[in-house]
Every structure is written in C-alpha cells, then in structure tokens.
C-alpha cells in the first residue's frame, strides 16, 4: 500500500534548497506570531498583575482634598454593617539621612504607614524578611541601591532610625528609582506600620486615606458613606483598576500585531510561491495521475497533504523558538521601563493559537495552487509537457483596482493604510516593469549582456518577482513609518509637553499650598511667576461599555497657564455641567462630543456634558479638564496640591531643585521640571526604537528569505535555459552575475518601492487627525539608511545562494530536460 505521508515527504523535499527556505519561512512566521502573541498577553498580564497588586482587594477608598484627616471621621464607616475589612494609610514625605554627597532631591522618600501590612487589601510580594508590622518594608531596587538588607536600619531626617523588616518585589505602591540619577527627579517609596509613622511624624490620629472591602451591598454602602461624609473634606471613590494615566501601552499591542501580521503575510507568500511553482512543475505528473483515474479532488488533496506536512514540520520547530523569542522580547521590553518588573510567560494560549495558525496560514495561502493542481488538463499537459507558468503581460483591470485603492489615501482611517499596502502589491508588476525599463540603459552600460538577460528574466516572471519586491517594499514602508513615529514622537511629545506643561517646574506637595507658602515661593529670585494647579484625583467615571474608569480632573480658569489646545470659552458659554476630555480619555469613554459622561462626585453620580476634546500631554491625554469653580462646587475640591512655576531665565535646574527641597522638603513630594517630564516620557521611546529596528530587520530578513526562494525557483525553472546559455558560450561568471543582478534589481525595486510607499504612509499619517500630531513629513534618516542597506545587502546574499546554484547547473542534463 502507498504510504501517502512518505510520498508527500518525498515530494516536498524534491528540491532541497526550496524546501529549506520554505520551511525557514514557516518557522520564522510561526515563531514571530508566537512571540508577538506571548508578548501581547504577557505584557497585559504584567500590567494587570501590578494594577491588581496596587488596588489589592479593596472596593472603595476614602480620601480627602487635604493632606490628612482625623481617623474619627471614618469611625462610623469602619463599623458599617456592609464593610468587611479596612486599611488605614498615611503618606509622609521625608529624607533619608545618608552619609555621602547626595542632594535633597535624591534623598527624598515617601513613607506610607499602614495599620496592617498583612491586610488582604494590600499585596506585598515578599522577597526576604517578614511583614511583622514593626519595621520598614522596602522594594528590592532600593535595597540594592542602598546596599541594605533585612535587619539593617535606615535613618531618616527628624524621624530617627527604623529597622528593615522586609524586602519586596516591584509593586506600583512602592515604585522607586533604581539609580541615583533617577532619584533626582522621583522619590523613593517605603512602607511602615501606621502607628510608628504617626508617632515619628507627629501626626497621631491622622490618616491620608482608608481602603475598604465590602460584604457585597456596594451601592448602599457607597450612598451611606457619601451622606456620612458630606460635611467633611473626605469623600468616597470606588477602587478602579485603571492605570492608563501612568502607562500608555495600547500602542505597543498594535505594534505587536502589526509585526505578526506582516511576518505571516510574508511567510504565506513564500509558501504560496513554493507550492505554486511545484504545482506548475508537476503538471505533467498530475496529468498522468488523472489519466490513470485520479480525480480533481484526489490531486488537490495530495497537494493539501504536502502543504499541511511542511506546515506541521515548520510549526513544530517554530513554536518553541517563538516561546524562547517571546521570553527574550519580554525581558527587553520590560527592561525599557526601568523597574524590576517580574513576569511569568503567558505561553499556553499563544502556543495553541500559533499551532493552529502555523498550520492554517500556509494552507490558506496555498488554496489557489491546490485548486490549480486539481484543475490540471490531461490533454494539454501530456501533449505539451510542463508549462513555464504565467507570462509577464500586464492586466489593465488589476491596475485600475490598484490605482483605485490609492484613493483610500484621502480617507482618514486605519483602512487607508491597508488600502495603500494592497495597492502596492497590486501595482508592483507595473512598477517593476517601469523600473526595469528605466534602469535598463544603466544596467546594459555597466553589466553588458548578463544585465540584459537579468532585465529580461525580471520581466519573464514579472508577477512573482514583483510580488517579492512588494513584500520588501511593504516591510520597508512599515519600518519608515514606525521609524518616523519613534524618531519624531519624542520631539513631538517634548514640544507638546513644553506647550501645555504650564510652567518650567511643577511642585507637588503632600499638603495643600497655603498663601504664605506661595508668598515664600514668589519671593525667590529664580521665580518669575507661579500658579496653582488644582487636580482632583482619582475621580471615577463610567465609560460607554459601562466599565468603571478613573482619571484626574484638572481645574482651569481663564488665567491658567497649562492649556493651549482647547478653548476655555466653551465653559463660559455652557450653562450645564460640562467637561473637556483629553484625547485618550475621550477614546476610552467611547462617546461623542455633546453627549454626557457619568462621573462619581461626592454627591453621587452626575452627568457632565463633554464639550470638547483636548490634545494634551498631561497623563498622555488620559485626563479631564473642568472649570475650576465647577470643580470646587461639584467635587468640593478646594485645595491645590500642585504649583506651577515659571523660572527666571538665569535660573539653573540644580540650584532651583536644591533650594526648593531645602526650604519646602518637609512637605514636598515631587519637584518635576519640564525636562524631567520630557525625559521620562521619551526615554521609553529610545528603548522602543531599538526594539523596533531589531524586529524590523528580522522582517527584512524574512523578506530576503522570500527573495532567495523566488530566485531559486526562477533558477530551477530556467535550468534548461541556463544550460543552453552555457552551451552557447555564457561563462559561469556571466551566469552568476546575471542571477546576482536579478536579485539586486528585485531588492532595489523593493527598496525604492518601499521608500516611496513609506513616504506616502508618512504623508497620510501626518495628515491624519488620529496620529497626525505625532507624525511629521520627516525622513527618519537612520531607519532609511538601515533599511536600504539591509534590504539591498540581504537581497544580494539571497541572490548569491541562487547564483551559486545556477552556476552549478550541469549543461548536459539541463539540455536533456529542455
């Protein structure tokens, strides 16, 4: 009996090099998909994990617009019948007392005192020591930086020494700088028992907030407490796991999927090429099989088995590589965030999806050859022998569609990018034809007859060669777009931050700024002007999908320094409760301008009309703006914890920082210069840029595997022709040059097409209302040089493989084949 698998194996390995390259394409495609899916899910897990750790099991918290409030305010709350567990906390800013030359800003530390470190409302992953409610809890990064261990003591200014009880992993509650350089702009964070902190800070009976979990009747509890607290500075808010204000990773997921789709597309094309050429070569074989009684379906099934077989081999090898690649990617990615985040690889579902996708996508891409094999005509093929495949004629309908798709460029939608990429693929034969016509005189002049033959061969397999070039073009175009985004984004972010930061430096205090504090500040030589920034946080609200979200609402008035991009008069002309949303908040909300957003206020949930969308750098746009009076009236938010300062032009950053910390260090929690904000926003881009370049060089590598595959197929198909050329006097060198030149021309066409497409994408993107603010028609020179060099070099390497195959063609046997 015939072993169908053995026959399939024999068939797919008939052409060894082609088999290896196709397998390589499937392996690369599958491993990329696996890696990207793993990266996507693991990143989501990591952020969910830290978000959950931050919120604990708490359902509500009660905060105040003053720094602290007396514990007795919430006595009745603690005893409410629906309250299950509570956790009281006090935040206190102080300084480490360390020997050595450190500035005050570097030594700033914020200690959070809690009444039970083992509470269910707190998640502290202990690395070393115990949560004994007696000593300090510090994050691992700080322990490493200060070279301290459990049992050691740390000394604080005016608060004395405290023993370290436990060292914990990274958690958002204790997120601290890992270097002295970063310590200059952000405080260390530690935890201590509440009573100890209250006593040392002289704040007995005071707390900053209380977290609580309920027994289930949330709505009633919420209403009861709202009522209870109505005459106090405290207010209740639901605890919402929403950290969009502090991180903007959605763009990252889009990037992951973009890379995965791109690699799948390229791999699929390589598989299509291999199977289609194989089918054309074997038409005579199929004709014989049909003449012996095989039906259309049987032949299609045979090819399907062959494709499935190679897909299975590729997937089995590709998926483990993908898991390893995913792990590597996660390490690099989280390294960018500078925190010691831990992750456990979410590999199971991505592996299952990749196993299915790895087998299905090559089959999908091979549907046409599979169908074509079944449709083989007995008479035509037995009479004429194997055909040489499609000719190089240009079909006008194809080009009408291609040019039609270019009209998508005028639509501001993500669809326009897909339209452009499709039109690149569709128009690529025309482009290659025109390109070869234009370059022919130069090639003839430089390369003589091998050049003439290379040009002629390009046109002979016009569609295949054009598709190969198109793959490279698409890869390069995406690189240019992403390169421009990641090159220009820091600059654009910087200018946007500068435009609406509201000053040169922002001071955040742990108590509201008093009039006397402001006088002292304004008396400083380095201060030109100052303005209070009122920010109510965290305010919870409901999006259109009825999910709870939280952000800050910034109070604005006519004199506010910190908005540029929306019109304050919108508030004046509006009698209703109104709000302006930042871009990301607007997107997350999901409504339209003029509709109401529901926000939790101390008086209950109220509708606010969304009257505008602001392009702002504050919290990367995940923020809202409200008229200051309305904010005070609706939220009872009277105080300002933030102060924006415009500096004198002669002031230096270091002297200002030191002066502020030494005079106001007792209650300052953050001193953030606009440059600090720019640096922290853009530093992630630099890391991302390297990652993008690395990933996209891999995409070009995959596209080059496609080029190698195409050229090898071109060579195999022309074995007899190359044999004839050799018989007629073409030297081995001339044959090699001819094939090398073919590869070079495909690569060059791909690179030029890619540059052109990339520029079009840039123009579309920069005119887009969606991302236009972050893209300018600007050439990312570094990315372009890298891609052009990589594209041409890898195409040459790819063509070298087939040129050496072509040069080894045996003249006699190739003539017999003909």
Partner 1 sequence: MIKVSGLVKSFTQGKNITEVLKDVDLKIEEGEFVAIMGPSGSGKSTLLQLLGGLDSPTNGKIEIDGKAISEMSENQRTIFRRKNIGIIFQNYQLLNNLTVEENIAFPLYADGTLDKEKMKEVKELIQAVGLNELNKKQANLLSGGQQQRVAIARSLVNHPGVLLADEPTGNLDRSKAEEILLLLTQFHKKNNQTIVMVTHDIFAAGFADKIILFKDGTIEQIISREEENYAQYLANFMA
Contact 793, 748 (CB under 8 A): no
Closest approach, Cβ 394 to partner 1, in A, equals: 15
Residues paired with residue 527 on neighbouring β-strands, in sequence order = 647
Nearer to partner 1, 456 or 570 (CB): 456
Rounded CA-CA distance 732/808 in Å is 8
By the 8 A CB rule, do 127 and 167 touch?
Answer: yes
- Minimum separation from the CB atom of position 718 to partner 1 (A): 9
Nearer to partner 1 by Cβ, of 400 and 811: the residue is: 811
In the complex, least distance from residue 11 CB atom to partner 1, rounded to whole angstroms? 23
Minimum distance from residue 436 beta carbon to partner 1 (Å): 13
Residue 108's CB: how many other CB atoms inside 10 A? 23
* 580 phi, psi to nearest 5 deg: -115, 130
What DSSP string runs through 480-504?
HHHHHHHHHHHHHHHHHHHHHS-SS
Q: Which residues of the shown chain bind partner 1 in the complex (CB under 8 A)?
A: 388, 448-449, 452, 456-457, 459-460, 720-721, 723-734, 811-812, 815, 818
Of residues 345 and 815, the one with the C-beta less far from partner 1:
815
- Smallest gap from Cβ 262 to partner 1, in A, equals 33
**HEC sequence for 701-766:** HHHHHHHHHHHHHHHHHCHHHHHHHHHCCCCHHHHHHHHHHHHHHHHHHHHHHHHHHHHHHHHHHH
Query: For residues 235 and 730, which CB has a smaller minimum distance to partner 1 in the complex?
Result: 730
DSSP H helical segments within 159-293, as ranges?
Answer: 180-183, 194-201, 218-228, 250-281, 283-291
Residue 626 · residue 614 · CB < 8 Å: no
Cα separation, 53 vs 697, in Å, equals 37
Q: What minimum distance in Å lies between the beta carbon of 396 and partner 1? A: 21
Q: How far is Cα 503 from Cα 645, in angstroms, rounded to an integer?
A: 5
Least distance to partner 1, CB of residue 778, Å: 43
For partner 1, the closer of residues 457 and 473 by Cβ is: 457
What contacts 679, CB < 8 A, 6 or more positions away? 185
**Pick 290 or 726: Cβ nearer partner 1:** 726
* H/E run at residue 307: helix 296-336
Of 389 and 687, the one with the shorter C-beta distance to partner 1 is: 389
Report the nearest approach of partner 1 to the CB of residue 388 (Å).
7
Secondary element (H or E) of residue 193? strand 188-193
**How far apart are the C-alpha atoms of 176 and 110, rounded to whole Å?**
10
- H/E run at residue 155: strand 153-156
Confirm if 143 and 178 have CB atoms less than 8 A apart.
no
Q: Which is nearer to partner 1, 493 or 730 (CB)?
A: 730
| Residue whose CB is less far from partner 1, 155 or 731 | 731
Q: How far is the CB of 269 from partner 1 (least distance, A)?
A: 23
HEC assignment per residue over 647-712: ECCCCCHHHHHHHHHHHHCCCEEEEEEHHHHHHHHHHHHHHHHHHHHHHHHHHHHHHHHHHHHHHH
Q: Which residues of 296-322 are buried (b: 16+ CB within 10 A; e: fewer)?
A: eeebbbbbbbbbbbbbebbbebbbebb
Q: How far is the CB of 282 from partner 1 (least distance, A)?
A: 20
Closer residue to partner 1, CB minimum distance, 243 or 717: 717
**Nearest distance from residue 390's CB to partner 1, in Å?**
13
CB of 459 to partner 1, least distance (A): 7
Question: Is 522 or 731 the residue whose CB approaches partner 1 more closely?
Answer: 731
Residue among 459 and 683 whose Cβ is closer to partner 1: 459
Nearer residue to partner 1 within complex by CB, 576 or 812 = 812
Q: Distance between CA 711 and CA 657 in Å, rounded?
A: 63
Cβ-contact 501, 677 below 8 angstroms: yes
Is residue 538 reached through a cis peptide bond, with omega within 30 degrees of 0 on the bond before it?
Answer: yes
Q: How far is the CB of 722 from partner 1 (least distance, A)?
A: 10
Q: How far apart are CA 87 and CA 115, in angstroms?
A: 6
- Which residue number, 232 or 734, has a Cβ lying nearer to partner 1? 734
CB of 467 to partner 1, least distance (A): 19
């Amino acid at each position: 009996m015939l072993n169908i698998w053995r026959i399939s194996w024999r068939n797919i390995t008939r052409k060894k090099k082609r088999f290896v390259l196709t397998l390589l394409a499937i392996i690369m495609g599958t491993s990329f998909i696996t890696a990207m899916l793993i990266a996507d899910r693991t990143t989501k897990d990591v952020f969910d994990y830290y978000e959950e750790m931050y919120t604990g099991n708490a359902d509500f918290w009660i905060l105040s617009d003053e720094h602290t409030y007396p514990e007795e305010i919430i006595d009745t709350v603690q005893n409410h019948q629906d309250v299950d567990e509570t956790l009281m906390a006090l935040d206190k800013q102080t300084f480490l007392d360390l020997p050595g030359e450190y500035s005050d800003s570097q030594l700033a530390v914020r200690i959070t005192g809690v009444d039970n470190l083992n509470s269910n409302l707190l998640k502290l992953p202990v690395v070393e020591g115990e949560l004994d409610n007696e000593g300090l809890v510090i994050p691992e990064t700080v322990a490493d930086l200060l070279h301290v261990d459990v049992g050691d003591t740390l000394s604080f200014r005016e608060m004395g020494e405290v023993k370290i009880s436990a060292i914990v992993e990274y958690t958002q509650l204790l997120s601290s700088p890992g270097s002295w350089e970063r310590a200059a702009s952000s405080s260390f964070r530690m935890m201590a028992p509440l009573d100890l902190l209250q006593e040392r800070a002289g704040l007995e009976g005071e707390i900053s907030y209380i977290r609580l979990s309920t027994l289930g009747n949330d709505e009633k509890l919420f209403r009861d407490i709202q009522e209870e607290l109505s005459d106090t500075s405290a207010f209740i808010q639901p605890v919402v796991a929403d950290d969009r204000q502090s991180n903007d990773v959605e763009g990252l997921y889009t990037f992951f999927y973009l890379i995965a789709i791109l690699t799948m597309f390229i791999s699929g094309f390589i598989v299509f090429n291999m199977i289609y050429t194989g089918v054309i070569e074997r038409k005579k074989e199929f004709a014989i099989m049909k003449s012996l009684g095989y039906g259309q379906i049987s032949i299609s099934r045979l090819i399907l088995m062959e494709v499935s077989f190679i897909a299975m081999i590729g997937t089995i090898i590709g998926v483990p590589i993908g898991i390893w690649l995913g792990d590597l990617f996660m390490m690099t990615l989280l390294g960018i965030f500078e925190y010691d985040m831990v992750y456990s690889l979410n590999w199971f579902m991505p592996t299952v999806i990749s196993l299915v996708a790895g087998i299905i996508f090559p089959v999908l891409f091979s549907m046409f050859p599979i169908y074509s094999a079944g449709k083989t005509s007995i008479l035509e093929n037995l009479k004429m022998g194997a055909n040489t495949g499609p000719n190089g004629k240009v079909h006008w309908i194809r080009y009408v569609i291609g040019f039609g798709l270019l009209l998508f460029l005028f639509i501001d939608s993500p669809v326009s990018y897909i339209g452009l990429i499709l039109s690149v693929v569709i128009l690529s034969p025309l482009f290659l034809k025109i390109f070869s016509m234009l370059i022919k005189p130069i090639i003839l002049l430089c390369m003589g007859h091998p050049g003439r033959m290379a040009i002629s061969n390009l046109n002979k397999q016009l569609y295949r060669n054009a598709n190969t070039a198109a793959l490279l073009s698409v890869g390069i175009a995406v690189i240019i777009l992403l390169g421009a985004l990641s090159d220009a984004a820091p600059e654009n972010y910087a200018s946007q931050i500068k435009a609406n930061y509201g000053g040169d430096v922002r001071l955040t205090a742990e108590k509201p700024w008093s009039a006397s504090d402001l006088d002292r500040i304004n008396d400083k030589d380095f201060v030109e002007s100052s303005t209070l920034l009122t920010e109510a946080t965290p305010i919870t609200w409901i999006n259109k999908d009825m999910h709870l979200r939280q952000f800050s609402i910034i109070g604005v008035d006519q004199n506010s320094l910190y908005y540029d991009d929306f019109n304050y008069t919108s508030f004046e002309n509006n009698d209703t409760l109104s709000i302006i949303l930042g871009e990301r908040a607007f997107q997350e909300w999901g409504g339209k301008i003029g509709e109401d957003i529901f926000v939790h206020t101390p008086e209950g949930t109220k509708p606010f009309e969304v009257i505008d969308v602001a392009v702002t750098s504050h919290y990367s746009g995940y923020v809202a703006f409200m008229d200051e009076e309305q904010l005070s009236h609706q939220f009872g938010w009277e105080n300002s914890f933030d102060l924006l300062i415009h500096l004198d032009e002669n002031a230096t950053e270091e002297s200002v920082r030191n002066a502020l910390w030494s005079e106001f260090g007792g209650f300052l929690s953050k001193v953030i210069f606009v440059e600090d904000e720019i640096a922290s926003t853009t530093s992630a881009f630099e890391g991302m840029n390297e990652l993008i370049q690395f990933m996209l060089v891999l995409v070009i590598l995959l596209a080059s595997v496609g080029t190698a595959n195409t050229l090898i197929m071109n060579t195999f198909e022309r074995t007899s022709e190359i044999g004839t050329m050799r018989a007629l006097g073409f030297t081995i060198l001339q044959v090699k040059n001819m094939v090398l030149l073919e590869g070079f021309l495909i690569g060059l066409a791909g690179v030029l097409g890619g540059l052109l497409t990339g520029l079009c994408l840039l123009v579309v993107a920069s005119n887009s209302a969606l991302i236009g603010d972050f893209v300018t028609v600007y050439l990312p020179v570094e990315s372009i040089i890298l891609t052009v060099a990589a594209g041409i070099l890898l195409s040459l390497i790819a063509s070298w493989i087939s040129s050496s195959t072509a040069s080894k063609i045996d003249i006699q046997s190739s003539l017999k084949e003909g």
